[in-house]
C-alpha cells in the first residue's frame, strides 16, 4: 500500500479528532463484558435448567434470526436520520432483558428475554442487530488510511471486554455454596445490565455529525425556493451518468460481499454459538475451566486484532484476512480430534487468535466499499448476510450433538470456511476503497 506524503501525515496527526470513535470504543468495551460472561455460561445455564441440546440451539438460532431481521431495517434507516437514537434504544432493550433474566427462569419469560438481549450470541462487544449503525457511526471523522487501525482497535476493545466477561463466567463455580444450582448463574445478567447502563451514558455524549448534516439538508430542501420551469432544451448530464455507474459498481461489490459472508456464516454457525456447550459434553468440564479458557482466547484475539490492523498497512486488508483465516482453519480442523481438554483448549485459543482477530479489518473493508452516505446499508448487508446463515447452523449442530456426532459439525463447518477464504480473496483483492 503506498504511503501518504509527509505533509498529509503531519496534517492528519495535528488535526483534532472530533469524531465519536473514542466514546464508541469505550462503549463497546463496557458492552462486551456482559456478552463475554453470557457467551460462556448462557448455554450452560440452560443446560442446568434441563433444556435439551435442540432447545438450546433453537433459542440461539431464533436470537440470531431476529437480530438479522432488525439489521435489515435499521442500517439503511440510520443513513437518513442519524445513529445515536438507534443505539440508545438498543441499550435500553438490553437493560430490560437483563433485568428480567435476573429475576426469572420461567422459559416463557427467559426465552423472549434471550431473544431481545441476545444472550449467548456473543458478538465481540458489537451492538447486535444494531452493529451496522455502530460501524457506520465509527467511520465519522476517520480518514480512509486510518480506518483499518481504528476498526481493529474497536474490535480489540470488544475482545478484551469479552475476555474479562469470560473470566467472570467462572463465578457460578464459586457461588455454588450460596446460590445452589442454576441460581448461581443469575448474577451474570446483572453484569450485562450494568454494561448497558454504562453504554447509554457514553453514547449520549458521542457526536453524530451525519445526523446534524441530515437535518440541515432536510431543512434546506423545505426552505429552497421553487425553481422556474426550464423551457430550453435539456443539456447532457454526465454527472448523472457517472452516478449511475458508481451506483452499479457499489451494488455489485455489496452483492459479492453478501454472498461471501453467507458462506462464512454457515461455517461459523455450525459450531460458534455452542462451543462452551460442546466443551461441557465432550470433556465433562464446567464454567470453572471453560470460562478462563475462553477468556484467554478472547484476550489473544484482541491482541491479534491490533496486529491485524498493523498488517493491513503492509499487506492490505484482504491478504491479511486470508493469511490469518487460513491458519485458523488448520487449527479448527484439528480441534474435534483433540484427545484431552487441555489440547482442545490450546487449539481453540490459538484458533481464536487467528479467526477473531480479523473482525475489525473485515468491517473496515465493508465500510470502504461504498460512499459515506451508504455505509449503514453496506454494514447491514455485511451483517445480515452473515447472521441469517449463521442462525441456521446451531439447529443442525444441536441435532448432531444430541445424536452423538460431536465432530461432524466441525468438518462441515471447515468446508464452508475454506470456501469463504477462497471467495474473499478472489472477489476483493485489489478492490479500490472509498475515502
Q: What confidence tens digit (pLDDT) does each residue in 36-52 have?
A: 999 889 999 999 999 99
CA distances for 366 relative to 129, 291, 318, 378, angstroms: 16, 32, 11, 6
Residues 288-297: what's their mean pLDDT? 90
On whether the CB atoms of residues 139 and 5 are closer than 8 A, the answer is no
Give the per-residue pLDDT at 82.
67
C-beta separation of 171 from 288 below 8 A: no
The whole-angstrom separation of Cα 124 and Cα 32 is: 6
The band of 238, judged by pLDDT with boundaries at 50, 70 and 90, is low
Residue (of 112, 99, 126, 109) closest to 39 by Cα position: 126
Could you give all domains of the chain from N- to C-terminal order, each with its CATH number?
18-211+253-428 (1.20.1250.20)
The grid cell for 251 is 451494488
Task: Give the number of other CB atoms < 10 A from CB of residue 238.
Answer: 8
Condensed to tens digits (0 to 9), the pLDDT of residues 260-276 reads 999 999 998 888 878 98
The grid coordinates listed for 204 are: 449520549
Whole-number Å distance between alpha carbons of 164 and 167 = 5
Of 29-33, 170-174, 338-342, where does mean pLDDT reach its minimum? 170-174
Cell (9 digits) for 321: 484476512
Residue corresponding to grid cell 447452523: 393
Checking if the pLDDT of 322 tops 80, the result is yes
State the number of CA atoms in the 13 A half-sphere of 108 facing the CB. 0
On whether the CB atoms of residues 115 and 62 are closer than 8 A, the answer is yes
Q: Using a pLDDT cut of 90, give the percent of the chain over it.
A: 36
Cα 351 to Cα 207: distance, rounded to the nearest angstrom? 37
In sequence order, what are the residues at sequence separation of 6 or more whose Cβ sits closer than 8 angstroms to the Cβ of residue 334? 347
CA distance 161 to 28: 8
pTM of the model: 0.74
Q: Which three cell numbers stand for residue 306?
A: 491490533
Q: Do 188 and 166 form a contact (C-beta atoms < 8 A)?
A: no
CA distances from 402 to 1, 278, 415 (A): 49, 11, 22
Give the model's confidence band at 435: pLDDT under 50 very low, under 70 low, under 90 confident, else very high. Answer: low
For position 214, what pLDDT does the model report? 46
Amino acid at each position: 500500500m503506498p504511503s501518504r506524503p509527509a505533509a498529509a501525515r503531519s496534517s492528519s496527526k495535528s488535526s483534532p479528532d472530533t469524531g465519536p470513535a473514542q466514546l464508541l470504543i469505550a462503549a463497546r468495551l463496557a458492552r462486551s463484558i456482559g456478552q463475554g460472561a453470557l457467551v460462556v455460561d448462557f448455554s450452560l445455564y440452560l443446560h442446568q435448567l434441563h433444556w435439551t441440546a435442540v432447545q438450546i440451539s433453537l433459542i440461539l438460532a431464533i436470537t440470531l434470526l431476529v437480530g438479522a431481521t432488525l439489521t435489515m431495517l435499521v442500517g439503511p434507516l440510520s443513513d437518513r436520520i442519524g445513529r445515536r437514537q438507534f443505539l440508545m434504544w438498543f441499550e435500553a432493550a438490553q437493560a430490560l432483558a437483563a433485568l428480567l433474566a435476573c429475576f426469572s427462569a420461567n422459559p416463557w419469560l427467559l426465552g423472549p428475554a434471550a431473544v431481545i438481549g441476545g444472550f449467548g450470541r456473543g458478538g465481540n462487544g458489537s451492538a447486535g442487530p444494531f452493529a451496522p449503525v455502530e460501524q457506520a457511526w465509527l467511520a465519522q471523522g476517520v480518514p480512509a488510511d486510518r480506518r483499518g487501525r481504528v476498526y481493529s482497535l474497536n474490535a480489540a476493545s470488544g475482545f478484551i471486554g469479552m475476555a474479562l466477561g469470560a473470566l467472570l463466567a467462572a463465578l457460578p463455580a464459586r457461588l455454588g455454596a450460596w446460590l445452589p444450582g442454576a441460581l448461581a448463574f443469575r448474577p451474570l445478567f446483572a453484569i450485562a445490565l450494568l454494561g448497558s447502563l454504562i453504554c447509554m451514558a457514553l453514547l449520549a455524549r458521542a457526536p453524530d455529525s451525519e445526523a446534524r448534516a441530515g437535518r440541515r439538508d432536510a431543512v434546506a430542501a423545505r426552505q429552497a425556493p421553487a425553481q422556474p420551469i426550464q423551457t430550453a432544451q435539456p443539456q447532457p448530464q454526465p454527472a448523472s451518468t457517472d452516478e449511475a455507474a458508481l451506483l452499479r459498481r457499489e451494488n455489485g461489490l455489496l452483492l459479492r460481499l453478501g454472498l461471501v459472508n453467507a458462506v462464512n456464516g454457515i461455517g461459523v454457525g455450525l459450531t460458534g454459538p455452542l462451543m462452551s456447550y460442546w466443551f461441557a459434553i465432550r470433556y465433562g468440564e464446567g464454567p470453572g475451566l471453560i470460562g478462563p479458557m475462553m477468556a484467554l482466547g478472547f484476550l489473544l484475539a484482541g491482541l491479534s486484532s491490533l496486529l491485524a490492523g498493523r498488517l493491513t498497512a503492509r499487506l492490505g486488508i484482504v491478504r491479511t484476512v486470508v493469511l490469518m483465516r487460513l491458519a485458523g482453519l488448520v487449527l479448527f480442523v484439528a480441534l474435534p480430534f483433540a484427545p484431552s481438554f487441555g489440547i482442545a483448549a490450546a487449539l481453540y485459543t490459538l484458533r481464536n487468535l487467528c479467526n477473531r482477530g480479523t473482525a475489525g479489518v473485515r468491517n473496515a473493508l465493508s465500510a470502504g466499499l461504498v460512499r459515506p452516505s451508504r455505509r449503514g446499508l453496506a454494514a447491514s448487508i455485511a451483517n445480515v448476510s452473515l447472521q441469517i446463515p449463521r442462525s441456521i447452523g446451531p439447529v443442525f449442530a444441536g441435532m448432531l450433538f444430541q445424536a452423538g456426532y460431536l465432530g461432524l459439525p466441525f468438518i462441515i463447518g471447515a468446508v464452508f470456511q475454506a470456501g469463504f477464504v477462497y471467495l474473499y480473496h478472489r472477489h476483493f483483492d485489489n478492490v479500490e476503497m472509498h475515502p
